Amino acid sequence: MNPANPRFNGKLVKWNADRGFGFVVADHGDQELFVHATAFPRDGQKPVVGESLTFEMERDAQGRKRAVKVARPGTKPAASATHEPASVATRTPSRRTHARSQSSGFGTLVVAALLVAGLAGYGYHHYSQRKAAMQALSQSPVSTTGTGLAQPAPARPTFNCDGRKHCSQMTSCSEAKRFLENCPGMEMDGDNDGIPCEQQLCTGLFGG
């Protein structure tokens, strides 16, 4: 069995309350030893510069000396933070890691579900627009050209019946024929043979 570590009497010479550490010096020495707040007894008293203390000394992982198991005269030394059972030190992080893993997995599932729903909605919207466009195209009149491609049928121009209905008001035989074909009430075809103004326009050199 290893002998108990020796205890030293000394004083707290520096303390940083915001960062929770300071330095102590043994009564028979001049070297400042690092001391952390966890090395003090949990008695509700805050470390005060200049107060008398007893402590043990050990080396940290880098080989530097530090004060541990600090006690005030007449009190029980504090347990060193480095002697915390491994089961306690590792059990809580393990539970936290497991909880974070579960939370991360659930969040991933939610994001994936939202992404799938968004893609499905976009696909349905695109399909609906394409279907409506195809239906509109199939219902519109088309004609074919010499290239074999379907082309929209040209709209037939509307003839303007401007009220003229006598041969004397026409300028040519072809104009008289257009009026006779498109306008009601024409008085240019007395024999109803479909040829208007036979005496004035649609005969001899003026016919056609």
Domains recognised in the chain with CATH numbers: 7-83 (2.40.50.140), 167-206 (no CATH)
Spatial distance between the Cα atoms of 10 and 51, rounded to a whole number of angstroms? 9
DSSP, collapsed to helix, strand or coil, labels residue 193 as coil
Going by C-alpha positions, the residue among 64, 48, 43, 65 that lies closest to residue 12 is 48
Spatial distance between the Cα atoms of 62 and 16, rounded to a whole number of angstroms? 22
| Cβ neighbourhood burial of 47 (10 Å; 0-12, 13-18, 19+) | buried
DSSP, collapsed to helix, strand or coil, labels residue 54 as strand
- Whole-prediction pTM value? 0.36
List the chain pLDDT tens, one digit each, 208 residues: 445 788 999 999 999 999 999 999 998 888 999 999 999 998 889 999 999 999 999 999 999 999 999 999 877 765 654 444 344 344 445 556 555 656 666 677 766 777 767 677 766 766 777 777 777 666 655 544 555 565 666 666 677 888 898 888 888 888 888 888 888 888 887 888 888 887 777 876 545 5
Spatial distance between the Cα atoms of 108 and 110, rounded to a whole number of angstroms? 5
DSSP, collapsed to helix, strand or coil, labels residue 2 as coil
Spatial distance between the Cα atoms of 34 and 21, rounded to a whole number of angstroms? 7
Q: What is the DSSP-derived secondary structure letter of residue 190? A: T
